[in-house]
Amino acid sequence: MSRPRISAIVTALNFERFIADGIRSIQAQNVPIEEILVVDSRSEDGTARIIAAMAAADPRIRLLEAERHSPARSRNVGLAAATGDVIAMLDGDDTWPRGKLAAQLALLSEPGVAVVSGLTGFCDAIDPTTQAPPPGARVETVAAVNVGACLYRATVFASLGPFDEGYRYADDWDLMLRLRDAGLRDIKLPEVMLWHRRYPGSLLTTPDPHRKQELAVAVGRSLARRRASRLA
């Protein structure tokens, strides 16, 4: 069997401080990656300039532009441009652990597996050399739904469609629920597959009552799909 082509999709919005760490964590993986699609949502800082400079040194990197709308919109722009058999994603203020892709590819190659996920390590600092939390950083490891901790077969999106751009926060939850409702198989690794940076002003740390409301909507739609399936 030939090795699958891997497309990495990175989303960015005013990540001047972080985007180089995120891209380097992809470049540091020990399996070949065919393309690194970095989708910038019209950043107003130096994000696009940093991406362009890194692209000049690595032909796999391609800078794409998305309307400033939602993370889901940016992910869909990346999906539309991706040519890989396997899709990996990363928000540009986060990083991947070393060996992430190799560990997940080994399981994704099993028959019938559509997605391999893992744990998320929330942290307050990431070392720019290792792209991982330095000694003394505060780290909390949880089994959270996060696209950056997953590895997908491209056929998942061909079957289920793209991310729902009606969500600002729960598009990843909605995708995972749609995947499970469709009976697609996912495997969870009991290891950190994403370092998720916590910092003031991030989407995660900014209070917004709509976050819980969106999750409730996603769960409600999932329940409705399951009821409809039983009645069909």
Instruction: Tell me the domain boundaries of the chain.
Output: 6-231
What's the CATH fold of domain 6-231?
Spore Coat Polysaccharide Biosynthesis Protein SpsA; Chain A (3.90.550)
- Rounded Cα distance, 189 and 86, in Å: 17
Average pLDDT over residues 48-68: 96
pLDDT band at 203 (very low <50, low <70, confident <90, very high): low
Question: Residue 71 pLDDT more than 60?
Answer: yes
**Residue 76 is encoded by which pair of tokens?**
């869909």
Average pLDDT over residues 177-184: 95
* pLDDT per residue as tens digits for the range 107-151: 999 999 999 999 999 999 999 999 899 999 999 999 989 999 999
> Half-sphere exposure (CA, 13 Å, Cβ side) for 140?
6
Query: Tell me, what's the pLDDT at 200?
Result: 81
Find residue 158's DSSP bridge partners: none
Question: Residue 51 pLDDT more than 90?
Answer: yes
pTM of the model: 0.94
